[in-house]
Amino acid sequence: MSTRRALHFVFKVGNRTETAKFYRDVLGMKFLRHEEFEEGCKASCNGPYDGKWSKSMVGYGPEDNHFVVELTYNYGIGSYKVGNDFRGLTVSSAAILDRAQKNNYPISTEDGQTFLLAPDGYKFNIISEDVQGDPVSKVSLASSNLQKSVDFWSNFAGMKVYSQTETTAVLGFGDKQCKLELVDIGGTVDHASAFGRVAFSCPREELPGIEKLMKDNNQTILTPLISLDTPGKATVEVVIVADPDGHEICFVGDEAFRELSHVDPQADDLLTEAVSKDKSDEWFARKGKKKASA
């Protein structure tokens, strides 16, 4: 049995208000943690909103046994360009499509699949049936060379190959965990400015070995083994690498992350408060400017 587990996928969002409504009212997820980072600089071009950002974790349950989503919001950026790198997050629930209709949210179909687009354009593949355990079953990423991608994720990331066809492969760290689907798109993978990151945990003692394996095999290391401090919370260690198509992968020490990722019962209220206090749109309007498009 693998000692590693799937944690979350990171999305950049430009419209935090509508994004929060989508996750709460349509997908039916709950906010698990919310943090505001006060890094604004009043002397900079975006005034008090230059560098100011927030991070919200949202899902159907704690990261101990659920795959969740991390939403990062930069106060000075209104939109991001979506590339072809992220192919979708698969969610099983009998209630999502009903909630989408009640909230007048558009439902689309393509190649026999039913999907919703989040406000910033990220795709959610909806299977309209309830399941036991985590409703989030699969995160799908694009590949320009399927076999090369499979080799990386199995040999260097340590995933098991569950199934493979000429155009897709499904891998994972455990039968009951969220799986990774690689989809061969027959061309270059474009991350654009909305590029995300997938996170996995492993025992802390495995992190140096992951870094060494990548280095010894000339794989891309974006961030060598480093400690990240969160004031008042656990210090976690991470190694961030990239697969052959540039998909960012964060491996984090499991022991500290379990402490860091405790569900905060105040998370939903903290996000609601932050949204209500967010006057960045008004600030840019007074200056006769629009938020940047990344």
Residue 179 covered by a domain = yes
Q: How many helices (H) and strands (E) does the chain have?
A: 7, 18
Q: What is residue 44's predicted lDDT score, i.e. its pLDDT?
A: 40
Angle at 253 between CA 242 and CA 246, to 5 degrees: 5
Q: Is residue 241 part of a domain?
A: yes
173 vs 186: CA distance, rounded Å: 26
Give domain status of residue 16, yes or no: yes
Q: Is 129 within the bounds of a domain?
A: yes
Q: What is the model's pLDDT at position 283?
A: 86
Question: Are residues 185 and 142 in contact, defined by beta-carbon separation less than 8 angstroms?
Answer: yes
The CA-atom distances, in angstroms, between 267 and each of 30, 232, 261, 275 are: 9, 16, 12, 12
State pLDDT tens for residues 199-210.
999 999 999 999
pLDDT band for position 289 (cuts 50, 70, 90)? confident
* Residue 126 resides in a domain: yes
The answer to whether residue 68 is domain-embedded is yes
Q: Can you give the pTM of this predicted structure?
A: 0.93
pLDDT greater than 50 at residue 42: no
Q: What is the mean pLDDT of residues 274-286?
A: 91
Q: What's the CA gap between 195 and 11, in Å, rounded? A: 8
Q: Is residue 294 part of a domain?
A: no
Q: What is the CATH number of the domain that holds 159?
A: 3.10.180.10
Which phi and psi angles does 242 have, rounded to 5°? Answer: -140, 145
What is the total count of domains within the chain?
A: 1
Domain hosting 181: range is 5-289
What's the Cα-to-Cα distance from 235 to each of 195, 221, 257, 258, rounded to whole Å? 26, 21, 8, 11
